[in-house]
């Protein structure tokens, strides 16, 4: 993001000067302008394509910057105190305990929460009832810290044991250190133990278009950030950002089928797991494609708050 002062500093540099980000693209710390997504970028690219660079007056810049901000992860409110206190000295990445399915089930019946870090399409096919879908990746801890209540004990179901250290490292960096262990043997062991399994129905864009044309049709829940929604969305879709969904569950009717959508299917699957955890049965996820596919096919769209 280019501030007004940058016009007198950074934007006076030659076009060829390279720029490296201080965090990943799409950080929740600020609004992210459209661009190529390449790392590094350059002064020339920013001057030409960064919408923030066009605002030279401070008042205009502030108004523009604040207009596109969405919600931010709920764990942020605890980070200042953690940073002031300083980190615990661990001497290495903690090793998680290996939990049998029956031991994990006992803990889940108590206060623990299962975070399923497998890819969303695998989660949708079958998962432990009541678990959160948070596919492992660079933003794994961000989403865990957004949807799992602060201080709640966590059990992990990983896509591969080799990811355990990276998952633990991400989580303890944001203060999520109540990691009770991982589900040994994954879903195969869970099913072999005779424990219950549930699935989330997935649909594609063409099927959603058929449902959209029905009367009455399902509630289409767009869980992207507000600026994404305003730029273009499925006509008639309701926007509740994924990070805020749990705060609005009581306001969503239970008698209407719900289809969750996002840009690519990841956030829609997380949203589907939240709705199922809330006891809703008629939930479908746009797991193949996303809103861009809907727009590209020329299906009815709207912009802004329409």
Q: Which domains does the chain have, with CATH numbers?
A: 4-67 (no CATH), 76-192 (3.40.250.10), 201-302 (3.40.250.10)
Kindly report the number of other CB atoms within 10 A of residue 227's CB atom: 14
Sites in the chain below the pLDDT cut of 50: 24-27, 30-36
Tokens of 304: 């802004």
Tell me the CA end-to-end span of the chain in Å, nearest whole number. Answer: 28
What letter would DSSP give residue 196? -
**pLDDT, tens digit, 9 for 90 and up, residues 123-142:** 999 999 999 999 999 999 99
> Which pLDDT score is estimated for 4?
57
* Helices of type H across the chain: 43-49, 58-67, 76-85, 101-110, 120-125, 140-147, 164-173, 186-192, 205-212, 226-231, 266-277, 291-296
Quote the pLDDT of residue 32.
47
SS3 177: coil
- Distances 47 to 50, 60, 258 between C-alpha atoms, Å: 6, 17, 42
Q: What is the pLDDT of residue 76?
A: 78
**pLDDT at residue number 91:** 66
Residue 238's alpha-carbon distances to 98, 163, 184, 220, 261, in angstroms, are 41, 35, 39, 6, 10
Longest dimension (CA), the chain: 67
Burial of 39 (0-12, 13-18, 19+ CB in 10 A): exposed
CB contact at 8 A, 127 and 108: no
161 CA to centre of own chain: 22
The pLDDT assigned to 35 comes to 47
Apex CA 96: angle with CA 92 and CA 99, to 5°? 170
Is residue 216 reached through a cis peptide bond, with omega within 30 degrees of 0 on the bond before it? yes
Specify the pLDDT at position 87.
67
Give residue 22's pLDDT: 60
Residue-level pLDDT at 36: 47
Q: CA-CA distance, 34 to 26, in Å (whole number)?
A: 10
The predicted pLDDT at position 31 comes to 46
Structure tokens of 245? 């969904």
């Amino acid at each position: 993001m280019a501030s007004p002062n940058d016009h007198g500093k950074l934007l006076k540099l030659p076009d060829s000067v390279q720029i490296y980000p201080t965090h990943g693209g799409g950080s929740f710390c600020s609004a992210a302008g459209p661009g190529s997504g390449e790392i590094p970028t350059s002064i020339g690219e920013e001057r030409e394509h960064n919408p923030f660079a066009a605002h030279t007056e401070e008042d205009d810049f502030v108004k523009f910057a604040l207009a596109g901000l969405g919600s931010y992860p709920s764990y942020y409110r605890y980070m200042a105190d953690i940073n002031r206190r300083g980190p615990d000295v661990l001497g290495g990445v903690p090793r998680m305990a290996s939990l049998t399915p029956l031991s994990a089930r006992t803990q889940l019946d108590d206060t623990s929460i299962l975070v399923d870090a497998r890819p969303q399409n695998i989660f949708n096919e079958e998962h432990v009832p009541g678990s959160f879908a948070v596919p492992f990746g660079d933003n794994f801890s961000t989403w865990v810290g957004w949807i799992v209540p602060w201080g709640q004990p966590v059990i992990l179901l990983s896509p591969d044991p080799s990811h355990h250290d990276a998952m633990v490292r991400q989580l303890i960096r944001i203060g999520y250190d109540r990691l009770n262990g991982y589900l040994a043997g994954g879903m195969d062991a869970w099913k072999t133990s005779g424990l219950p399994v549930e699935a989330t129905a997935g649909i594609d864009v063409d099927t959603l278009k058929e449902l959209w044309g029905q009367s009455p049709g399902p509630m289409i829940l767009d869980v992207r950030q507000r600026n994404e929604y305003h730029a273009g969305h499925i006509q008639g879709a309701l926007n509740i950002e994924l990070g805020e969904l749990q705060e609005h569950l009581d306001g969503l009717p239970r008698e209407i089928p719900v289809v969750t959508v996002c840009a690519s299917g990841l956030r829609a699957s997380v949203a589907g797991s939240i709705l199922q955890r809330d006891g809703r049965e008629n939930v479908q996820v746009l797991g193949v494609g996303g809103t861009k596919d809907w727009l590209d096919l020329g299906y009815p769209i709207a912009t802004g708050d329409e």
